[in-house]
Amino acid sequence: MIELLQLRKEFPTKHGTVTALDGLTLEVPDAAIHGIVGPSGAGKSTLIRCLTLLERPTAGAVRIDGVDLTALPERELRQQRRRIGMVFQHVNLFDSRTAGANVAYPLRVAGLSKTKAKARAAELLEMVGLADRAGAYPAQLSGGQQQRVGIARALASSPSVLLCDEPSSALDWSTTRHLLEVIKNVSTTLGLTVLIITHEMAVVRQVCDSVSLLAKGRIVQSGPIGEVVADYGSQLSRDLIPLAAAPVGETRAQVEVSFSSADFSIQEVLRLLADLPDQVAIEAGTLETLAGHRVGRFSLHGQPEALKPAIARLREAGLYVTAISAAEKAEAAADSAAEVRSEAELEPGAAAQPGADTQLGADAEGGAPATPETEGEAGDQDAERHRATKASEEE
């Protein structure tokens, strides 16, 4: 189990004190896989350094299996670190050693005999699907195979916790899926608690049991995948069920409809959309299965005079509907991207990730979508009604 209690990390700079982690509290139960997402500068890199006590937190506690690492002297801390396996974005294998020798290296450092270390390395390579590549050097392995060697090496000390820092950022999606299958398999087989730092929401959808959104050093949303997805209109829900972006410069009105089979029949939703007037068109849509439920989002567009009655009809049926123009969305994304760049420059040790990470940052920092005056208040009321209904059902 991983427990973070009011974790705070401050860095002194010439411009004053920078707070990288601000009272962060999180619990990841045994054998669970938890994802941490957020924009560049959110504090992800600092968080993983504090988890391993490579950075001492300014305040708060880090507990692994009930042991408070922040209270340990250096010698005992080194012993406890062996219970934490690390998989890095860049594997950093020894070029002059074979895959088997790379995995055996930490075992030899820990004092295991050469014969036993070699045998253990062979077991771990078989677990990650590389039993036939033990004699290959890193240059003879693909990027995905090198990452799997990195996982085997991280498991060498029989840890109870596995920390993965952007493990798939340099891999294509097919290779990433294979890597995630390996992580899922070792978590299930060994009962490992896994924490994955990632900017790829597809990774969260594929392998995580729960997820947290980190922004400005704080967890702004967290929970099991099923609960997060059903919190329609929240940032994580929108990120987990992505829609194709509207063309650049498009200013037509858009309406987004979100739903889950936990609340609605998919066929019923599709019939409601099909019965909308011809002046309202479906621009984009997605359906996925997450946490055992079919979840989806659709984007509609049309003239305001046609959209208003359509919105009313969909809301009357109980669907979550929010209205936003593409121009407003682009403006919010641009403002958020500028804010993320500013934060990334301030956080010590954090490297800005191009592409998808920057886009996630724009989305994550943007908060709830801006809405036209005629529809925004009603959209907020929908979200509140939905959350109230969920709460009463749980009670």
The CA distance from 263 to 218, in Å, is 30
Which of 3-7, 47-51, 240-244 shows the lowest mean pLDDT across its residues? 240-244
pLDDT at residue 327 in the model: 47
Q: Are strands 218-224 and 210-215 parallel, antiparallel or unpaired?
A: antiparallel
- The answer to whether the CB of 192 falls within 8 A of the CB of 181 is no
Least confident of 97-101, 175-179, 349-353: 349-353
What's the CA gap between 80 and 67, in Å, rounded? 9
pLDDT tens digits along 214-255? 999 999 999 999 999 989 889 899 899 988 776 777 655 678
Q: Can you give the pLDDT at residue 170?
A: 78
Is residue 332's pLDDT more than 70?
A: no
Return the axis-axis angle of helices 99-109 and 114-127, rounded to nearest 10°: 130
- % pLDDT > 70, the chain: 80
Phi, psi of 273 (to 5 degrees): -70, -40
Residue 263 has pLDDT above 80, yes or no: yes
Q: Cβ distance 300 to 280 under 8 Å?
A: yes
Tell me: pLDDT of 77 over 50: yes
The values of phi and psi at residue 200, to 5°, are -100, 110
Q: Identify whether the C-beta of residue 319 lies closer than 8 Å to the C-beta of residue 264.
A: yes
Q: How many whole angstroms separate alpha carbon 163 and alpha carbon 85?
A: 6
Whole-angstrom distance, CA of residue 322 vs CA of residue 135: 56
CA distance 332 to 335: 5
Q: Give the pLDDT band of residue 325 (cuts 50, 70, 90).
A: low
Q: How confident is the model at residue 352 (pLDDT cuts 50, 70, 90)?
A: very low
CB atoms within 10 A of CB 393: 7
Q: How many CB atoms lie within 10 A of CB 17?
A: 9
Chain-centroid distance, C-alpha 201: 6
The string of DSSP codes covering 349-377 is: TPPPPPTHHHHHHHHHHH-SPP--HHHHH
What's the pLDDT at 40?
83
pLDDT score recorded for residue 329: 54
Q: Which residue has the higher pLDDT, 331 or 270?
A: 270
Mean pLDDT, the chain, whole residue set: 82
pLDDT digits over 53-65, tens only?
Answer: 999 999 999 999 9
Q: What is the pTM of this model?
A: 0.78
Single-letter amino acid, residue 290: L
Q: What is the pLDDT of residue 345?
A: 43
Domain ranges of the chain: 2-230, 235-394
Mean pLDDT, rounded, for 115-143: 95
- Distance, in Å, from the CA atom of 348 to the CA atom of 344, rounded to the nearest integer, reads 8
The CATH code that applies to domain 235-394 is 3.30.70.260
Helix (H) or strand (E) holding 218: strand 218-224
* Window from 152-161, 295-304, 352-361 with minimum mean pLDDT: 352-361
Q: Which of 130, 177, 174 is nearest to 151 (CA)?
A: 130
What local confidence, expressed as pLDDT, does residue 338 receive? 46
Whole-number percent of the chain with pLDDT over 90: 55
Task: Give 260-311 as a 3 state SS string.
Answer: ECCCCCHHHHHHHHHCCCCCCEEEEEEEEEECCEEEEEEEEECCHHHHHHHH
pLDDT of 185 > 70? The answer is: yes
pLDDT computed for residue 306 by the predictor: 87
Task: Indicate the CATH number of 2-230 among 2.40.50.140, 3.40.50.300, 3.20.20.80, 2.60.40.1080.
Answer: 3.40.50.300
Q: Reduce the DSSP state of residue 55 to 3 states and report it.
A: coil
Please indicate whether residue 102 or residue 383 has the higher confidence score (pLDDT): 102
Tell me: pLDDT of 146 over 90.
yes
pLDDT of 285 > 60? The answer is yes
Distance of CA 158 to the CA centre of its chain: 25
pLDDT of residue 142: 93
φ/ψ of residue 75, rounded to 5: -65, -45
Contact 364, 39 (CB under 8 A): yes
